[in-house]
Amino acid sequence: MTTLTTAPVSSLLDRLFAENEASFAALNPTWAQIPAEQRVALMSSKTNYRALYTEMKDVPLAVSRTTGAFLYMLARSMNARTIVEFGTSFGISALHLAAALRDGGGGRLITTEFEPSKVARARANIAAGGLSDLVEIREGDALETLAHNLPKPIDLVFLDGAKGLYPAVLALLENHLRAGALVVADNADWSPEYLTRVRSPAQGYMSVPFAEDVELSMRID
Ligand SMILES: C[S@@+](CC[C@H](N)C(=O)[O-])C[C@H]1O[C@@H](n2cnc3c(N)ncnc32)[C@H](O)[C@@H]1O
């Protein structure tokens, strides 16, 4: 058995994923009405991301169950001790990553979120999962919260905040990544600049697209 598949985390995740699906279903018609070009501009912006996410502050926007399980398995199999996440939201992916730390013998997850109400919800969910001792939530813009006090080495990174910032956030973390560190980026197709960077061996990464719009990259050295 794992922390993920036993109480209290399993039933907590069932509830949170059900809420997530319901809120996505409610959001979809509004999203579909936005012209494709405007959607790309919104999702890829490096400057106007705050308004978009404030608008969606009551929506979990969480990873799928598959991606959540994938994160848990990666963290467990590489025996990750230090994980950094960009984009906490309600803490659903953080619960998977922290569960992996728990089952692997401990460690530290640093995760960051700029919506105060989401920080409060994530804190409550992580506490309900009994995982608070493993998680540090940094409230604020990742460009600031991840610019200092980073652990070294970082074993695993999960990028899931504003897509246009993926290259900048990776740049903040890069010098702390150990050789063989993994970087998982959700919905990375919204950031062609990020994909160009991690798919170039000359930049120090190996990278492959994975299921469900996930990019899996490894730091070479
Ligand atoms: C897709 S959701 C994250 C979902 C979460 N990883 C999960 O699966 O449970 C993206 C989150 O990142 C936050 N965010 C976006 N850009 C950010 C930034 N620059 N700094 C901090 N948080 C940011 C948003 O407010 C939103 O809650």
- Which string of DSSP letters, residue by residue, matches the chain? --STTSTTHHHHHHHHHHHHHHHHHHHHHHHHHS-HHHHHHHHH-SSSHHHHHHHTTT---PPPHHHHHHHHHHHHHTT-SEEEEE--TTSHHHHHHHHHHHHTT--EEEEEES-HHHHHHHHHHHHHTT-GGGEEEEES-HHHHTSS---SSEEEEEE-S-GGGHHHHHHHHGGGEEEEEEEEEETGGG-HHHHHHHT-GGGTEEEEEEGGGEEEEEE--
Mean pLDDT (whole number) for 1-8? 96
Residue with tokens 């069932």: 14
> pLDDT value at position 25?
80
Distance separating alpha carbons of residues 50 and 46, to the nearest angstrom: 10
CB of 126 sitting under 6 A from ligand 1: no
CA of 23 to the centre of ligand 1 (A): 16
pTM for this structure? 0.97
CA of 158 to the centre of ligand 1 (A): 11
Mean pLDDT (whole number) for 13-33? 88
CB of 141 sitting under 6 A from ligand 1: yes
Distance separating alpha carbons of residues 113 and 138, to the nearest angstrom: 7
> pLDDT value at position 135?
98
Rg from Cα positions in the chain: 16
The gap from C-alpha 117 to its chain's centroid, in whole angstroms, comes to 17
Closest CA to 73 of 153, 182, 151: 182
Give the pLDDT confidence of 93-126 residue by residue, as tens digits: 999 999 999 999 999 999 999 999 999 999 999 9
Distance separating alpha carbons of residues 61 and 19, to the nearest angstrom: 10
CB of 138 sitting under 6 A from ligand 1: no
CB of 92 sitting under 6 A from ligand 1: yes
Closest CA to 9 of 97, 89, 141: 97
CB of 114 sitting under 6 A from ligand 1: yes
CB of 189 sitting under 6 A from ligand 1: no
Evaluate if residue 36 carries a pLDDT over 90: no
Nearest atom in ligand 1 to 49's CA: 16
CB of 61 sitting under 6 A from ligand 1: yes
Nearest atom in ligand 1 to 20's CA: 9
Q: Percent of the chain scored above 90 by pLDDT? A: 84
